[in-house]
Every structure is written in C-alpha cells, then in structure tokens.
Structure 1
Amino acid sequence: MKKQYVNLNPSQLLILIFTLCIISGTILLRLPIATTNSITWVDSFFTATSAMTVTGLIVVDTPVAFTVFGEVVIAILIQLGGLGIMSFAVMIYIMLGRRIGIKERLVIKQALNQTSIGGIIKLVRNLFFFSLTVELIAMLFLSIKWIPDLGWIKGLYYSFFHAISAFNNAGFSLWSDSLMGYVGDPITNIIISGLFIIGGIGFTVLSDLWHKKKFRKLSLHSKLMIVATFAINITAMFIIFVLEYNNYNTLGSLSTLSDKLWASYFQAVTPRTAGFNTLDIGSLEEPTLFFMLILMFIGAGSGSTGGGIKLTTFIIIVLAVLTFLKGKREITIAERTISQTYILRSLAIASMGMFFIFTAIFILSITEKAPFLNVLFEVISAFGTVGLSMGLTAELSIIGKIIITLIMFIGKLGPLTLAFSLASSKDKKIKYPQEEILTG
C-alpha cells in the first residue's frame, strides 16, 4: 500500500511551523516553573502568540506573572518570531552540512517577504549574524545605563531581554509600566528606538546598505523605505508634540523641554510596530490616538521584524490614487515604473487587512463592554503586531482574548501569506471582452 503524503505549499507550511511554535510556547509557559502563580491555558496561549508574532500585547503582567524561566521562553519565542523560524532552520542545516532544497527556499522566501529565491540563503546567513551582533552591542550599551540602576546580574539580564524585544519589534518589557521610568533618558531612548527602527526598516534594505554604501546606488525599495521612514518619524514627532503639549497627563507633566521632546519622539516611532511606551497610552488625547492608529496600520518595512500592511504598500496605494487623479495610466517614481502586479498586491493586502480588522471590531463590540475607541485601538494594535494598549487587553473576555490572538496571528502571517498566494497564481491564457462597470 502506497504511503500518502500531505503536500503543503510554502504558505501552508509557514503557517503550520508558526502554529507548532506557538503551541510549544503555550505548553512551556503553562509549566509551574514558568509562572509565579498558575495562569490559564487561554492566557498562556495568548502570551505565546503575542511573543511569537512579536506583538507585545499582554493579558498578564510579564514581570509579575512569569519567573525568569518563563521570561526566557518569551524571549526565545520573540527571537524565533522576529528573525523567523526558517532562518534558524537554515543555520542548523548549514552547520550540519545539509543541502537546502527548493521547497525550503520557497518557504524562506515567503517568511522574509522576498520576490525571488536567488541569494536567499546568503541573505539569511547575513541577517542571522547581523541581528545577533546588533542585539549584543545594544545589550552592552543598555547595561551601561541599567547596571548602575539595577546591579550587575539584573542589569545585564534586563539589557539582554529588552535588546531582543526591541530589535524584533516585540514590545515586551520587564517593567510593568514599560519604559515610562526612562521617559527622558537619552541612552534608553536612542538604543531602544534605534533597535526597533533598524529591525523594522527591513532586512533587504539593510543588506542593500551594507553592499552598496552610497544612497544613489540603492534600489528603489531601499530609497523609498529610508526617505519615507525619516519623513514619517519627524512628522509624527512634531504632531504628537503639538497635540500633547498641554496634556497634563502626558507631556504637560514633564518638567523640561528635552523630556518633552524625547517623549514625543519615542511615541512617534513606537507605533511603527515597536510596542514600547514612555507615556501612558490611555492618557493620550483622542486626536493623538487616532493618529497613532494610522501609523500602526501602516506599520514597518517589508521583510522586517515589524507588522502592519507595510510602508511601501501604503506608498504604492497613495501613488496609485494620485496617478488616477492625474489621469495617468502608469505609476512612476524616480524614473521607474511600478508593475501592475505590485499595485494589485498592495490593494489586496490593505483590503484584507481592513476586512479582518472590521470583523474583529464587530465581534468585540458585541462581546466586550468597552468604549469603541479602546476596541478599535486594541484591534489595530494586534493586527499591526504593535503591542500598544489603552488597557483593554487585560480586561478582555475569553472570546475577546481568542479574537485578538487570531488577529495577531493574521497580522503576522495572514495578509502577507495570502497576498503571495494570490500573486503566485497563474493567469488564465483565455481573454474575455471588456465591459464597463459604473463606479464612484
């Protein structure tokens, strides 16, 4: 009798791998050695998913609920989710001298959001060592600040955990109030934000910068990511500074201008899927929260540790709208034409993202007794794998926790994986007559 094998495509295999890692993390976090007091299976599953999807939303206070063993499990899940389980698998294959086949390369391509498998193994190898090097250097710099405050062992451990959490855009913190105790500290602000900006700009951009050095030689994608990231961060910092300046619960309570500027800067860059905060998010003004919703939905760069629909996706959609309004047929930028395939993919990602967000909001508005803005903020934070919260997560019902868990999972894998599946489907060779449909 012939054996039957289940033939999974790269998208399905990637989802299966992530699911197995989350289940393993759930079991480990449920062990007595992982918690100070027993937590429920749902809370364990939520925490494992939040770590693996590098989101950072929490239903139990991390430093209070978990032991050092539990925190290390969370750090490992963050590292696996941020760099990708396939990246670690590739490194193991390389060390064992085993050949990496086409199917494995396709899954890696899917996981890192690349357009081809050419040079994918070299990219993974460089990414792996670069990430560990950056995390180690950041840990040493953070320890300079935190060892005098916390002591040698605790200072090094906190530096190690937050370096991993920040670079992978996870947002998990070993302080109950995140980084609010360091709101005006330059070292903490620069190192933590530098980590999640580097992690969120995309591995393709980092590789491009490493090899080409000069800005004019970079690919169009890299140029767009660098310029747009800088422009959005500066603009967001200015807007938050203006909106929150007289809010006594946030910037208004800070005594010096430098503290206000550091706080404005950090809250401007953290919605790009980082999840750390130095101000109380629930105390921000409603216009500020709405602005942060937009930033969280846009997210970080393609092929990065961050989430959201991705910055380049947003740019392509904006350019498509402007091109239509100008009466042109093709999108051009920097003397380059954008392919129709990328336009359709961008629209598919954004549309699917909004569909999942609207569905989750509708269900949570029924199951949770909370203000609409709180629900909206929590869902978009989960979808963008950001991790910022107005305080609703810990109060969610069991159904609410499951819904947010699913949204975190979809935000990390869903739209991206589905978009690649759509893009890779072959068009039929048959062409049909065109007919007009009234729109608008």
Structure 2
Amino acid sequence: MLSAVGTLLLLLPMASTVPLAWHEALFTATSAVTVTGLVVVDTSQLTLFGQLVVLGLIQLGGLGFMTFAALTLVLLGMRLPLQQQRLIRESFNQTSFSTLAHLVRLVIGFALIAETLGTLLLVMTWIPRFGLWEGLWVSVFHAISAFNNAGFSTWPDSLTDEVANPLVNGVVSALFVIGGLGFVVIAELVQLPRQRSLSLNSRIVLHATLWLMLVAMGSLLLLEWNNPATLGGLDSIGTRLQAAWFQAVTPRTAGFNTLDTSELTTPTALLTMLWMFIGAGSSSTASGIKVTTFVVLLLVARAFVAGRPQPAIFWRAIPETTAFKAVAVALAGMLLIFLCLFVMTINEPEKPFLALAFEAVSAFGTVGLSRGVTSELSVPSQLAVIVTMLLGRAGPITLGFFITTRQRRGLKYAEENVQIG
C-alpha cells in the first residue's frame, strides 16, 4: 500500500522536473519504502516535494511497520487480539506487551536523536559549500537515508565526491552501522548500565558485525589496492583506508558508495555480493538474511562436523526451531535471487551476467549498490527487481513469523535415513 501511494504521489507533475513513467514511479517508491536505494531516475530530478515523498517512505520503511503499528497502539491505547500482540512482541524479541511499549518509545526517540545529530554534523561541511537552505536539506536527507540504510542520495554519483572527506565518511558510515545493529540491540546497549549483561542475540550481532566489517575491509584493501579505478587512483594512504572502510561496510544494506562500484574487480564484486546477502541485524533498518541467520548456519555446520547434538555459542545452545528457521530463511533468499536473476537474464541477454547477478543480490538485500545497469533494465526486469525488493524486505520477516506460529503437529512420523552430500 505504501508503494502504491508513493507511486501515485511521484506521478504528480509537481513531484519531478521530468515526467515519470508509471514503472519508474513504482520502482522509485518501492526502492524507498524497502530502503533499497536502487534508482532508475536520479533523485536529483525530483523536486523538493518528490524528495520529501521519498524521504517519508524511507522513514516509514526503515523503522519498520511493526514499530509504527506498536507506536499507534501505545499512543491510542488500543488493544489487539493476543495472536497479533504475539507477532509484534516477537518482532522485537520481547516477552510482554508492557515492555514493548517502552522499547517502541526508545526506538523512535533514538532514531530521531541519531538523525538529528547526523544532520548537525553534516551541515558543518555542506552549509559552507551549498549555502544555508540547500546545505541543510542535503544534510537532513542524507542523515535520514543513512540511518535507515536506504542509500538514496540527492546526487547522481552518490558520495563519490566526498571520498576524501573524513567527516562525511565517518558520520554517514556511523549512522548506517548503528541503524543496522537492530533496535533490540540498541535498546539493550542503552540499558546496559542497569542490566549489566547482553542477550545472546545482541552478543552475536555485535561480534559478527565487528568481524564482518574487519574481514570486508581487509579483503577490499588486498584486492583493490592497485586498482587505478578504485583505491589505486586515490592520492594518499589515509584516503585509501577511509575509502576501503566505507566501501567495506556499505554492502551491509546501506547502499551509499564513495568508489565506483562498476569498477570493482570481479573477486571484490563477488565478496560484496556475499556481504549484501548476509545483511545486518534483525529488527533493524537493514535487510538481507541477517547476521544472526548467517552465524546460526555456521554454528549448525560446526556442530555437525564436530559431532555435537546441538549448535552452541557463548555457552548457550541454539534451539532446533531457530536452526530450522535460519535454513528456511537462507534458502528462501537464494531461491528469490535465482528467480530474479533468471527473469533478468531472459530479458537482458546483452548485459554482463555479473552485473545482473549483482543487481539481483542488491535488490534482495535492499542494498542499492549497482554496477550501472539499473536504469538500463527493461520493464519486465524492473518489475522483477521491484518484487525482489519487496520480498527481500518483508519476506524473511513474514517467513520467520509463519514458522514461529505454525500449528503443532498431531502426528509424529517414523524416521528414515536420507543420504546427504
């Protein structure tokens, strides 16, 4: 519904400087509400009204429908059936509806504070360069887009002109990393002085996030250091390190880029696709299969190799239902990417396969990075990407709820072995 409303608003004459086709408006609205950042029309071609529409869709899609549903219930004092209350509780990993109300207020407040602080820091660079009102607007737009991991920029080349600007690189990357941790993790970190402990979920997210960022940055430095079109073309070592950091963390569904993504070497592009597929934390502004899902899959494999009956980490065992859910979410993601890529290869036979595969993974992970083929896709391919963005954002959540709330079986079948591998 949000995509449809956004499409109608973007089709209004006052929304853009050039007339938009229906599929271009639909693609832009869907990309915004799924906080993806893939564009077939440059955001710079939208008027202030059009950019406000995009920004509103980003904020609604980034914080999540469950957040605003729960906030509405809290503000209006409404009651939901127990089944629907349970779904909202589980999306925030809460055990009671009363603690959920406190968490929702914390989520909204933290998001507004983070976006405000990001804006105040960015204006220090952009108001002196663009003037008061334009500098303020681009600062607000990029702060909200960064915190919500949307990747939308008011400039056609994203943040490539800011590759050597430490303030912009630091603020934007900090916003999308924090937004990608997940609101449950953020809430636990805020309450850590009182609770003095973190849940297993938060510890996994924090450790996995740190290691993924370090591995991604090290790999990018190794593979792109001598590439004259990316890191090799930058003047100083400091700028190269800064660009490597930004380009290493942005695939976790942020979508901004300070290097030309189309010029990345093939090994780097493949690793970037892996980071996009994994994504960031659950209940966050980011998508992908989520880092917790990826870690659980690794733990299941480790437990099998070690001959253990149950996967475990940090002296805690992972429930069997969680392992099944991780397998289902990862498999659903791979099938969705395959179907999207299959449709695109039929309709875009002249396009490089790597560029199309990169596009499909970026759409599923709602990342927004592209190797320059988005605007050149045919209408059927654009529709495939639109469906992939929608399912990539809402699909894993829906699948997770479906698995969590499934009916209890009345029968137990006899077991029989099946060969694997």
Q: TM-score, normalised by structure 1?
A: 0.92
| Equivalent AA in structure 2 for residue 49 of structure 1 | T
Task: Identify the residue that residue 20 of structure 2 maps to in structure 1.
Answer: 39
| Equivalent AA in structure 1 for residue 359 of structure 2 | E
SS state at 1:389 partner: coil
Which one of 93, 97, 113 corresponds to residue 114 of structure 1?
93
CA contact (8 A) 1:105 1:117 kept: no
Per mean C-alpha deviation after superposition, the further-off stretch among 357-366 and 160-169 is 357-366
| Cα deviation code 1:315-351 (max 9, x no counterpart) | 0001100110111111111111110010000000000
Which one of 47, 57, 60 corresponds to residue 77 of structure 1?
57
SS state at 1:178 partner: coil
How far apart, CA to CA, are the structure 1 residues paired with 2:10 and 2:273?
A: 31
Q: Report deviation, 1:235.
A: 1.5
How far apart, CA to CA, are the structure 2 residues paired with 1:342 and 1:91?
A: 28
Task: Identify the residue that residue 314 of structure 1 maps to in structure 2.
Answer: 294
| Cα deviation code 1:69-118 (max 9, x no counterpart) | 000000000000011234334444444454565465345346x4536554
Number of equivalenced pairs: 419
SS state at 1:262 partner: helix
SS state at 2:246 partner: helix
CA contact (8 A) 2:32 2:55 kept: yes
Task: Identify the residue that residue 383 of structure 1 maps to in structure 2.
Answer: 364
Task: Identify the residue that residue 17 of structure 1 maps to in structure 2.
Answer: none
1:155-166 correspondence runs (5 A) = 155-166=135-146
Per mean C-alpha deviation after superposition, the further-off stretch among 360-369 and 168-177 is 360-369
Task: Identify the residue that residue 153 of structure 2 maps to in structure 1.
Answer: 173
Task: Identify the residue that residue 251 of structure 1 maps to in structure 2.
Answer: 231
Which one of 31, 54, 57 corresponds to residue 35 of structure 2?
54
How far apart, CA to CA, are the structure 1 residues paired with 2:63 and 2:297?
A: 27
CA contact (8 A) 2:146 2:175 kept: yes
**Measured at CA, do residues 89 and 322 of structure 1 come closer, stay the same or move farther in structure 2, by a change above 3 Å?**
closer
Task: Identify the residue that residue 437 of structure 1 maps to in structure 2.
Answer: 418
Find out whether 1:185 has 2:182 as its counterpart. no
| Equivalent AA in structure 2 for residue 114 of structure 1 | N
Task: Identify the residue that residue 203 of structure 1 maps to in structure 2.
Answer: 183
Find out whether 1:146 has 2:139 as its counterpart. no
| Equivalent AA in structure 2 for residue 247 of structure 1 | N
SS state at 1:307 partner: coil
Find out whether 1:223 has 2:199 as its counterpart. no
Task: Identify the residue that residue 388 of structure 2 maps to in structure 1.
Answer: 407
Q: Report deviation, 1:426.
A: 2.2
How far apart, CA to CA, are the structure 2 residues paired with 1:175 and 1:332?
A: 46
| Equivalent AA in structure 2 for residue 144 of structure 1 | M
**Measured at CA, do residues 192 and 284 of structure 1 come closer, stay the same or move farther in structure 2, by a change above 3 Å?**
same
**Measured at CA, do residues 122 and 102 of structure 1 come closer, stay the same or move farther in structure 2, by a change above 3 Å?**
farther
Find out whether 1:344 has 2:329 as its counterpart. no
Name segments (4+ residues, structure 1) moved above 6 Å.
none
Q: Which runs of 5+ in 1 are unaligned?
A: 1-19
* Identity fraction in percent: 44
Which one of 286, 295, 310 corresponds to residue 266 of structure 2?
286
**Measured at CA, do residues 107 and 337 of structure 1 come closer, stay the same or move farther in structure 2, by a change above 3 Å?**
closer
Q: Report deviation, 1:294.
A: 0.4
SS state at 2:44 partner: helix
Task: Identify the residue that residue 3 of structure 1 maps to in structure 2.
Answer: none
Q: Report deviation, 1:409.
A: 0.2
How far apart, CA to CA, are the structure 1 residues paired with 2:165 and 2:263?
A: 21
Q: Report deviation, 1:184.
A: 1.5
How far apart, CA to CA, are the structure 1 residues paired with 2:378 and 2:56?
A: 28
CA contact (8 A) 1:90 1:100 kept: no
| Equivalent AA in structure 1 for residue 271 of structure 2 | F
Which one of 7, 10, 35 corresponds to residue 29 of structure 1?
10
CA contact (8 A) 1:215 1:223 kept: no
Task: Identify the residue that residue 397 of structure 2 maps to in structure 1.
Answer: 416
**Measured at CA, do residues 362 and 325 of structure 1 come closer, stay the same or move farther in structure 2, by a change above 3 Å?**
same
How far apart, CA to CA, are the structure 1 residues paired with 2:63 and 2:305?
A: 40
CA contact (8 A) 1:105 1:120 kept: no
Task: Identify the residue that residue 135 of structure 1 maps to in structure 2.
Answer: 115
Q: Report deviation, 1:377.
A: 0.2
SS state at 2:310 partner: coil
SS state at 2:191 partner: helix
CA contact (8 A) 2:28 2:40 kept: yes
| Equivalent AA in structure 1 for residue 388 of structure 2 | I
Q: CA RMSD in A?
A: 1.6
**Measured at CA, do residues 209 and 35 of structure 1 come closer, stay the same or move farther in structure 2, by a change above 3 Å?**
same
Task: Identify the residue that residue 302 of structure 1 maps to in structure 2.
Answer: 282
Find out whether 1:326 has 2:302 as its counterpart. no
How far apart, CA to CA, are the structure 1 residues paired with 2:260 and 2:390?
A: 26
